[in-house]
């Protein structure tokens, strides 16, 4: 049986109240008394029961992380950031995966409520506005990556438009003038936002992205491989392709190689996600936009802590991307730093 504060008090020869104060550095007492208490606790291997403590304090120093549709490739980085932010306040993370099931989600919300979590982070694979998790929850909620359809909620996500801009800027900086875009299904907000960003960056240069040069399809290598060929047969003058994710980019790179086109000399390539495992192994290695998910996680954690302290910031905030420059679209001078942006980096999964 684990020792309780009563055991400490008894062994140290003080009252429970004094033991409590002694252990928490509160109140005033003779240094030797405090020392004796602390020493006794150490001797007995005393670990104060946080659940008992939270009964009086009202705070559990626990936050829930509810993922709506499984742990994806994005989860680890995000999780790392969240954990680091929360550890500043020694909060622990309670994990739940709703698996696209409203009943299960409801069940988890109840469980987290019963555990009296101090706050909740809701995450999902898409940036599209999603139904709010529940109204009138007894703790603050922050949406991460996914955003709540209710503008009164707090959401932190990626600025996909900025990401699209960065990708195109890298291509034009290298000298591309006739740029195309191979990307995922337009049903995704992220896909549409990246297109918007790409067009904006091209407009800055007096260029454009006609519909004929935007190809939507599944987010897969297969798509990149087959569509790059069709695209170049149709418009052979294309000299740069912005791909909606690294899988498409990889497929495109392989497709171009199969067609005998050189990357980046004939056609330059920029991907999205900076999924190192894939991007760095592509021949040539893929330049790719990075969503800085670790930093997103940190910001989400900090935002939640602020909300718990009463400082709520409703609305959607969108964090900028950065770009990892690699051989598929190198920096023009050849000696630019690989990373633009000072966002903290963490290795891939």
Partner DNA sequence: ATGAAAGCGCTAACAG
Partner DNA sequence: CTGTTAGCGCTTTCAT
- Cα distances (angstroms) measured from residue 108 to each of 80, 99, 136, 234: 22, 11, 16, 51
Does position 18 bind DNA by CB under 7 A? Answer: yes
CB nearer to DNA: pick between 7 and 205:
7
Query: Which one of residues 17, 24, 42, 72 is an interface residue with its own copies (CB under 8 A)?
Result: 72
Q: How far is the CB of 188 from DNA (least distance, A)?
A: 42
Query: Smallest distance from the beta carbon of 117 to its own copies, in angstroms?
Result: 10
Q: Which of 75, 227, 288, 303 binds its own copies (CB under 8 A)?
A: 75
Q: Based on CB atoms, which residue is closest to its own copies, 112 or 130?
A: 112
Choose among 265, 264, 273: nearest CA to 243. 273
Q: Which is nearer to its own copies, 97 or 128 (by Cβ)?
A: 97
Q: What span, in angstroms and rounded, lies between the C-alpha atoms of 286 and 90?
A: 38
- Partner from its own copies, DNA, none binding residue 95, C-beta < 5-8 Å depending on class: its own copies
Among 16, 33, 83, 134, contact with its own copies (rule: CB under 8 A): 83
Can you spell out the DSSP letters for 218-260?
Answer: -SSHHHHHHHHHHHHHH-TT--EEEESSHHHHHHHHHHHHHHT
Site for DNA in 48-67 (CB under 7 A): 48-49, 52-53, 55-57
Contact between 55 and its own copies per CB under 8 A: yes
Task: Tell me the number of residues near DNA by CB under 7 A.
Answer: 30
Q: Are 291 and 71 spatial neighbours (Cβ–Cβ below 8 Å)?
A: no
Based on the shown chain and the rule CB under 7 A, indicate whether residue 68 belongs to the binding site for DNA.
no
CA distance 185 to 215: 9
Whichever of 138 and 347 has its CB closer to DNA, that residue is 138
CA 35 to chain centre: 45
Binding flag, residue 90, DNA (CB under 7 A): no
Cα 308 to chain center, whole Å? 20
DSSP single-letter state for residue 179: E
Angle at 289 between CA 287 and CA 295, to 5 degrees: 135
Q: Of residues 23-52, which lie at the interface with DNA (CB under 7 A)?
A: 23-24, 26-30, 33-34, 46-49, 52
**Toward DNA, which CB reaches closer, 27 or 175?**
27
* Interface stretch with its own copies, choices 95-103, 127-135, 169-177, 262-270 (CB under 8 A): 95-103
**Residues in contact with its own copies, shown as a per-residue x/- string from 278 to 317 under the rule CB under 8 A:** x--x-x----------------------------------
Binding residue count for its own copies, defined by CB under 8 A? 49
Joined together, the tokens standing for residue 225 give: 């491989």
For the chain, strand residue ranges (E) read: 62-67, 92-97, 119-123, 129-130, 141-144, 147-148, 154-158, 179-183, 214-216, 240-243, 268-272, 287-290, 315-319, 322-324, 339-340
Q: How far apart are CA 53 and CA 60, in angstroms?
A: 8
Tokens of 253: 């790179």
Site string for its own copies, 31-50 (x = CB under 8 A): ----------------xxxx
The SS3 of residue 320 is: coil
Contacts with its own copies by CB under 8 A lie at 2, 47-52, 54-55, 60, 62, 65, 70-73, 75-76, 79-80, 83, 90, 92-97, 110-111, 113-116, 138, 220-222, 225, 247, 250-251, 254, 277-278, 281, 283, 347, 349
Contacts with DNA by CB under 7 A lie at 1, 4-6, 13-18, 20-21, 23-24, 26-30, 33-34, 46-49, 52-53, 55-57
């Amino acid at each position: 049986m684990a020792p309780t504060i009563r055991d400490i008090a008894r062994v140290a020869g003080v009252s429970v109240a004094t033991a409590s104060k002694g252990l928490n550095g509160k109140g005033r007492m003779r240094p030797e008394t405090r020392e004796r208490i602390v020493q006794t606790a150490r001797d007995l291997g005393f670990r104060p029961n946080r659940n008992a403590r939270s009964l009086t304090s009202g705070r559990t120093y626990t936050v829930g992380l509810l993922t709506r549709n499984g742990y994806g490739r994005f989860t680890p980085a995000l999780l790392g950031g969240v954990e680091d932010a929360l550890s500043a306040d020694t909060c622990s993370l309670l994990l739940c995966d709703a698996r696209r099931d409203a009943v299960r989600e409801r069940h988890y919300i109840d469980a987290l409520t019963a555990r009296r979590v101090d706050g909740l982070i809701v995450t999902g694979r898409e940036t599209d506005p999603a139904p709010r998790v529940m109204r009138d929850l007894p703790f603050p909620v922050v949406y991460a990556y996914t955003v709540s359809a209710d503008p009164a909620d707090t959401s932190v996500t990626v600025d996909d438009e900025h990401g699209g801009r960065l990708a195109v800027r890298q291509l034009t900086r290298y000298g591309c003038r006739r740029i195309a875009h191979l990307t995922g299904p337009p049903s995704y907000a992220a896909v549409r936002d990246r297109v918007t960003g790409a067009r904006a960056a091209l407009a800055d240069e007096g260029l454009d992205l006609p519909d004929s040069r935007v190809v939507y399809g599944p987010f897969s290598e297969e798509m990149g491989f087959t569509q790059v060929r069709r695209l170049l047969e149709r418009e052979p003058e294309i000299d740069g392709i912005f791909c909606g994710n690294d899988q498409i980019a990889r497929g495109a790179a392989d497709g171009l190689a199969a067609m005998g086109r050189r990357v980046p000399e004939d056609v330059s390539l920029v991907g999205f996600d900076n999924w190192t495992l894939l991007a760095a192994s592509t021949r040539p290695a893929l330049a790719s936009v990075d969503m800085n998910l670790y930093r997103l996680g940190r910001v989400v954690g900090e935002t939640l802590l602020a909300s718990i302290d009463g400082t709520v910031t409703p609305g959607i905030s969108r964090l900028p991307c950065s770009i990892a420059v690699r051989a598929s679209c190198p920096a023009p001078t050849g000696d630019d730093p690989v990373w633009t942006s000072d966002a903290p980096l963490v290795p891939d999964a």
